[in-house]
């Protein structure tokens, strides 16, 4: 691993009980003052991306004719500074890891950049540490961003967003039926819906 900076934050040390949530998002569509974004997610036991096998990642990217993957890790804490880590050769890193606390990620300034980044064709993913999908959806709604599961009419079809997420999982550590099955078992039903309507005037 090259160009690793000093870390400015402290993670929860109890990794055995922490979950990782990986998300792939579509380009936003503005309707009635709200940005609608389709998503595909996987919930899994915690994974430390800095310990990934970067040689294998590089090999898999070459196989699929891609050059780089970028992952934003959003930590379940506040007031930590941002950090950027290059994994692979400094002149051509195969994996760019960005770390930031959830208060920085869900700030008004960063949300504007978030929407702009989704407009690009870069392979950008989001890794939420120790946060439920319910909490994440609520935070996005505070910024007039509505995260959906995609089109109800086309949900029987393999979507680009689903394939994009599967690609990340394959590149990181391989993909198996067992891992996908476990993702469903780690997802309580209560975590799927937004608890409040942040489009109401009181918010």
Q: What is the pLDDT of residues 92-119, one digit of tens each?
A: 778 889 999 999 999 999 999 999 989 8
Q: Give the pLDDT score at 99.
A: 93
Q: Give the pLDDT score at 3.
A: 41
pLDDT band at 187 (very low <50, low <70, confident <90, very high): low
Q: What is the pTM of this model?
A: 0.80
Of the listed ranges 52-56, 75-79, 149-153, 198-202, the least confidently predicted one is 198-202
CB 57 within 8 A of CB 85: no
Instruction: Give the pLDDT mean for 52-75.
Output: 87
Q: Could you give the percent of the chain with pLDDT greater than 90?
A: 37
Q: Give the pLDDT score at 186.
A: 65
For strand 29-31 and strand 34-45, is the pairing parallel, antiparallel, or unpaired? antiparallel
Give dist(CA 74, CA 38) in Å, integer: 19
Is pLDDT of 203 > 50?
A: no
Instruction: Give the pLDDT mean for 125-145.
Output: 93
Mean pLDDT of the chain: 80
């Amino acid at each position: 691993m090259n160009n690793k900076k000093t870390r400015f934050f402290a993670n929860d040390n109890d990794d055995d009980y922490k979950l990782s949530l990986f998300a792939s998002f579509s380009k936003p569509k503005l309707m009635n003052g709200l940005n609608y974004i389709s998503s595909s997610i996987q919930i899994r036991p915690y994974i430390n991306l800095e310990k990934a096998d970067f040689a294998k990642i590089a090999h898999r990217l070459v196989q699929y004719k891609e050059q780089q993957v970028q992952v934003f890790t959003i930590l379940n804490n506040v007031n930590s500074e941002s950090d950027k880590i290059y994994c692979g050769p400094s002149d051509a890193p195969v994996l760019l890891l960005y770390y930031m606390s959830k208060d920085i990620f869900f700030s008004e300034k960063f949300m504007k950049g978030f929407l702009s980044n989704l407009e690009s064709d870069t392979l950008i993913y989001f890794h939420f540490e120790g946060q439920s999908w319910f909490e994440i959806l609520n935070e996005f709604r505070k910024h007039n961003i509505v995260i959906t599961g995609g089109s109800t009419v086309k949900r029987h079809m393999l979507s680009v967003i689903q394939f994009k997420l599967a690609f990340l999982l394959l590149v990181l550590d391989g993909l198996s039926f067992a891992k996908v099955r476990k993702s469903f078992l780690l997802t309580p039903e209560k975590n799927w819906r937004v608890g409040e309507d942040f489009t109401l005037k009181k918010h």
